[in-house]
Amino acid sequence: MFSKEITDGKTTMNNKNKYIKGLRDGVPIGLGYLSVSFSFGMLAVNMGLPIWSVVLISMTNLTSAGQFAGIGIIAAGSPMLEMIFAQFIINLRYSLMSVTLSQKTDETMTLPHRLLSSFFITDEIFAVASGQPEDVGCKYMYALGTAPFLGWSLGTLLGAVAGNIMPDSLCSALGIALYAMFVAIVLPPARRSRPLIIVVAVSIALSCLLRYLPLPFKLSGGTVIIICAVAASALGAAVFPVKEDDGV
Amino acid sequence: MTVSTGRLLAYIAVMAGVTYLIRMLPITLIKRKINNRFIKSFLFYVPFAVLSAMIIPDILFSTASVWSAAAGLLVAVIMSLIVANLLPVAAAACGAVFIVELIMRIIK
């Protein structure tokens, strides 16, 4: 998958090649994003958000789980503080990826380029960038982020527009797409790791308990996710700390 | 939805701002490796814990009927254990929901 054009242990790719390689590597991610963001756009419009705002969210956030929680918070009219906490907790994983990438950048990654290119850090873009045999430069990062950004924005627009004109039966069926994707992200790695299964089970159990127990106070969806994530992850980190060489 | 345009823009600005800072600050500021094992482990588990809490129980109310959603969830679980790819799993779950709701309409 990753073409190695290495001689004498040094990369010989010039900047133009790096850009083209980045564009190419980003296409499969972009196609995947196109369909996922379609269901995001549809869902958000069904929640009552105007089309322009849904597209703006995708263009400025470029993340699935965070946006997904975000539109729930907006639709419920929850406090701004809840939005801050929810986005912080849900997207905290990007900081780990950001740290990892900071150890893997070449000399072209100057401060302005770090400021700009870090916008493109998503699960999939990180996975491809960190899988490169050589250090990652700014040209490659911009190129890699291009197709995913276009796919994510365009898919959102199409979903937001089509969500209004599609038959209810199709809307209902597509409503589960994003959740099914989350299942496909969580289950395969969890199946191979007992600690992960336990963390997942604890988070699910807490999520159900907090929503269905007759509590004396009302917790919003965003708060429930924050509590579940922090509690289950802290438990996992305390009982099953990851080994030094894995976990990233 | 009763949110004004101004408040909607404020929500979006906060969302985008927080998400960007999380991505930007570490790669810009931190030059050394994180060695704290607890923090590393915590960050490793976070995405899985977040997604799990987002899936259950909300997935059951993501379609027109709890039953079609349950069928979709079941298919998503089975499919993701067979093919780890995101797209086939999502497509199969949608298909299951569509078929179950079709059958429910016919039976009624």
Residue B76 shares a structural domain with residue B63:
yes
Number of domains in chain B: 2
Beta-bridge partners for A105:
A136
Q: Which of B7, B68, B72 sits opposite A180 (nearest CB)?
A: B72
Residue B57 shares a structural domain with residue B77:
yes
Q: Which of A32, A184, A190 sits opposite B76 (nearest CB)?
A: A184
Q: What is the pLDDT of residue A9?
A: 41
Q: What is the pLDDT of residue A190?
A: 92
Residue B26 shares a structural domain with residue B41:
no
Residue B45 shares a structural domain with residue B77:
yes
pLDDT digits (tens, 9 = 90+) for A137-177: 999 999 999 999 999 999 999 999 987 777 888 878 887 88
Average pLDDT, chain B: 90
Interface test with A, best of B4, B21, B35, B42 (most A CBs within 10 A): B42
Residue B23 shares a structural domain with residue B74:
no
Residue B12 shares a structural domain with residue B56:
no
| ipTM, two decimals | 0.86
Residue B8 shares a structural domain with residue B52:
no
Q: What is the pLDDT of residue B1?
A: 62
CA A172 to mean position of chain CA atoms: 23
Q: What is the pLDDT of residue A4?
A: 42
Residue B11 shares a structural domain with residue B61:
no
Residue B58 shares a structural domain with residue B103:
yes
Q: CB distance from B79 to chain A under 8 Å?
A: yes
Residues of A in contact with B6 (CB under 8 A): none
Which residue stretches of chain A have pLDDT < 50? 1-11, 247-248
Residue B53 shares a structural domain with residue B67:
yes
Q: What is the pLDDT of residue B97?
A: 95
Residue B88 shares a structural domain with residue B103:
yes
Which residue stretches of chain B have pLDDT < 70? 1, 31-33
Q: What is the pLDDT of residue A83?
A: 94
Please calculate the CA angle B84-A185-A99 and round it to the nearest 5 degrees: 120
Residues of A in contact with B20 (CB under 8 A): 118-119
Q: How far apart are the first and last CA of chain B?
A: 32
Range of the domain at B88: 37-107
Contact A196, A246 (CB under 8 A): no
Of A173, A198, A170, A174, nearest to A186 by C-alpha is A198
Q: What is the pLDDT of residue A244?
A: 59
Q: What is the pLDDT of residue A248?
A: 41
Residue B56 shares a structural domain with residue B22:
no
Residue A192 neighbours by CB distance under 10 Å: 9
CA B84/CA A184 separation, integer angstroms: 6
